[in-house]
Amino acid sequence: MTRSQDERFELRDHTADIAVEATGDSLEDVFGAVADGLAAASCDSIPEEATERFSLEVSAEGREALLFDYLDELIYLRDVRAELPVDHHVGQIRGPEDESAAGATGAATDSDTAAVDEWVLEASARGVSLADIHAREIKAVTYSEMRLERFDDDGGRDGWEAYVVFDV
């Protein structure tokens, strides 16, 4: 088991696969932490030099499907761009259950769900050339054992946690 310096994600041993367990104060934070975990699982040492950031937008029918599709898109972009996406920033996630659209009660109204019938993520990352690093191939993200849950611990801290398994 390997823990990141900032404690946002943890790499877990998993039979023939690798799993990332991540936490974040917001849904955006936990998505970014899982993506950072994917990068860490791919490469032991990520160069710090500045490289150009790129933007991406992903949509899906559900929150878990959005996490899956976001990670799948990062793997796809790695393959087509020959760059490892790193330094992930998830700027915004919108969806039919979005609390900001649902108001203080957390319950979506008919007008909220009519306006947004799918989940949409806007994010950015920077690409590190695969020629400059020794990267392990992560073949795919899986739904096997995937969890994405809100938590509220006894200490009054609330946030999100995710567990995602990748096929290596």
Q: Does residue 88 contact residue 109 with C-beta atoms inside 8 Å?
A: no
Q: What is the CATH number of the domain that holds 122?
A: 3.55.10.10
DSSP tag of 49: S
Domain span holding position 66: 2-46+56-98+108-167
The domain tally of the chain equals 1
Taking only the tens place, the pLDDT of each residue in 67-86 is 999 999 999 999 999 999 99
Residue 32 lies in a domain: yes
Q: How many degrees, rounded to 5, is the angle at CA 159 between CA 58 and CA 107? A: 75
Q: Does residue 161 contact residue 33 with C-beta atoms inside 8 Å?
A: no
User: Phi and psi of 86, rounded to 5°?
Assistant: -135, 175
Residue 79 lies in a domain: yes
Taking only the tens place, the pLDDT of each residue in 86-104 is 999 999 999 996 654 333 3
Q: How many degrees, rounded to 5, is the angle at CA 80 between CA 132 and CA 53? A: 65
Listed in sequence order, the DSSP H helices in the chain are 27-42, 63-81, 99-102, 110-115
Residue 124 lies in a domain: yes
Give the C-alpha distances (Å, rounded to integers) separating 35 from 67, 76, 113, 116, 153: 9, 13, 28, 25, 24
Residue 163 lies in a domain: yes
Residue 84 lies in a domain: yes
Distant-in-sequence, close-in-space partners of 93: CB < 8 Å, separation ≥ 6: 27, 28, 31, 66, 119, 120, 121, 122
Share of the chain above pLDDT 70, in %: 82
DSSP tag of 48: -
Q: Can you give the pLDDT at residue 110?
A: 46
Average pLDDT, the chain: 86
Residue 103 lies in a domain: no
Taking only the tens place, the pLDDT of each residue in 31-66 is 999 999 999 999 988 888 778 999 999 999 999 999
Residue 131 lies in a domain: yes
